[in-house]
Structure 1
Amino acid sequence: MFVFPAKAMFNRVLPKLKIYANAKPSKKVKAMFISQVNEIVWKYKLAAGTINLAPRDGYNEIQVFEISLKVPDLGMEVLSVIDKAIPYPIFFRLRHDDRLKRVAAYKRPAADGTNNWVTEAYFETEWEKATDPITPLPVSLDIKALYEQMLFTLIDLPPRPGETLPALVERVGLIRKHSRELQTLEAKMNKEKQFNRKVELNAQVRNIQTRIQELQ
């Protein structure tokens, strides 16, 4: 877990109704908020005035939310709705009993000139004990660089030499896509009775496995 400057503390409860008003979630997702989320606290605002880093390329602030959970498993739809409601990059600290988990999506300003944000893949850590050691924020030249350094710590796949964060996120997305395809093909192959068809599926499985290995 990162330790944040005291000056950046915001520490305000964010009512669920405000999120509903901004993001208009479905009844199903509202039910998830009710059954899974105890409280949402807007813990920190990392901005020029609180951490003395300049904005860059539309990255003006980074928000840190702490969500106390009623259950250990939180549906990603909940985080997606919060990201939709708040037009800033957000790092979530999920808390359940004495454990913490960090989650964040790769979030970037829209390229259409509006104030909208595009939310892409989510990344998360394993559950950690709340008493585990905390680490200082990465040394960065501006807010965008800080955001990228923070997000890198959530991605299991190490970046290749010179690989940018967007390129790494794209590579992880391809691995996830091919992994889903592989799972589907393996299930089909295991159920297939016809020998020739089974051979064809096995060849497709090997092809996708090779693609995944090349991306890793």
Structure 2
Amino acid sequence: MITFPGATIVNRTLPKEAFYKRLTLNNELKEKFISDVKHITLQNSLTAQTLHLASGGAVSEILVLVVELKKREFDPRILESIARQNPHKLVFLLRYGDGAQLTLYHGKLYTTSWQEPSQLALSARGLNLDAVWDSFLEQIVLAEETNPPAGLSVDKRIKRHELLQRLQKELDKTEKLTWAEKQPKKKFEMYQQVQILKAQMEEIINGQAENA
């Protein structure tokens, strides 16, 4: 469940035309904005004051925008453009039909899977807004992280998590090809590559790799 203190609630619908006219968009993205987005609501404004937190830090405000979509398969560049051109940190709650997902931009877009709205969970954790934003990254980007290493920043944990995901994807593909390979020499070479990938993942998981 997504719950924030009552003081954070804004619940103001943003006129769609006025909204996208303030953005720098090419003609293609303007058309996608019109065709993909039904309307946008500024649901919450999270500040040190509304959350009763300590002031200071890099993050001054986090806005929660509810985006009602006209279709589930929308162009994600719309959200990226909104986030990159806004001075505040943004969390998007996307809704289509009976489904919903959370999205935020942190160098690139990160999203949860589509779920029933009641199954989505997001809460503000931390003593200041910097910590709250880090907690959002943990809850959305690192939701599937297992055994997080102690002492690593959230950004380094995200890099580690994405590297493990890339290696796992490559491992799965290589293992599948290895089993299907008929030539013994080629099969052995691919088996060796599988072992290398597994070793790389073990090093990262155990905190021995430089990139970890």
Task: Name the TM tier (shorter chain).
Answer: 0.7 to 0.9
The answer for the alignment partner of 2:138 in structure 1 is 152
Amino acid at match of 2:84: K
The code of the aligned residue for 1:98 comes to: D
Indicate which of 105, 118, 123 corresponds to 2:110: 123
- Superposition pairs of residues 167-182 of structure 1, within 5 angstroms: 167-179=156-168, 181-182=170-171
Separation (CA, whole Å) in 2 of partners of 1:9 and 1:17: 22
> How far does the alpha carbon of each residue in 1:145-170 deviate from its partner, in whole angstroms, 9 at most, with x for none?
11112221122114222332111111
Q: Structure 2 vs 1, CA of residues 50 and 181 (structure 1 numbering), >3 Å: closer, same or farther? A: same
2:189 equivalent among 160, 182, 200: 200
CA–CA distance in 2 between the matches of 1:134 and 1:171?
23
Structure 2: how far apart are the matches of 1:104 and 1:87? Answer: 14
Q: Which runs of 5+ in 2 are unaligned?
A: 206-212
Q: Find the counterpart in structure 2 of residue 34 from structure 1.
A: 34
Q: Match of 2:138, as an amino acid?
A: F
Local SS of the residue matching 1:2: coil
Cα RMSD after superposing both structures: 3.1
SS of 1:128's equivalent? Answer: coil
Quick check: 1:44–1:63 contact (8 Å CA) kept in 2?
A: yes
Q: 1:163 corresponds to which residue?
A: 152
SS at match of 1:171: helix
User: Counterparts of 1:131 and 1:177 in 2: how far apart (Å)?
Assistant: 31
In 2: Cα distance, 1:172 partner to 1:20 partner? 37
Distance 1:4 1:173 in 2: 29
Deviation at 1:196, TM superposition (A): 3.8
What is the TM-score normalised by the length of structure 2? 0.75
TM-score (norm 1): 0.74
Distance in 1 between the 2:77 and 2:180 partners? Answer: 32
**How many equivalent pairs are there?**
201
Deviation of 1:68 (Å): 0.9
**Structure 1 equivalent of residue 54 of structure 2:** 54
Contact 1:64–1:90, Cα closer than 8 Å, also in 2: yes
Please tell me whether Structure 1 or Structure 2 has the larger radius of gyration of its CA atoms.
2
SS at match of 1:153: helix
- CA-CA distance at 1:179 after TM superposition: 4.2
Contact 1:2–1:137 at 8 Å: present in 2 too?
A: no
Distance 1:182 1:31, change over 3 A: farther
1:142 maps to 128
Counterparts of 1:44 and 1:200 in 2: how far apart (Å)? 55
1:62-113 Cα deviation digits (max 9, x unpaired): 111111122233443222112112122211111122332222233xxxxxxx
- Equivalent position amino acid for 1:148 in 2: D
Question: SS of the residue aligned with 1:126?
Answer: coil
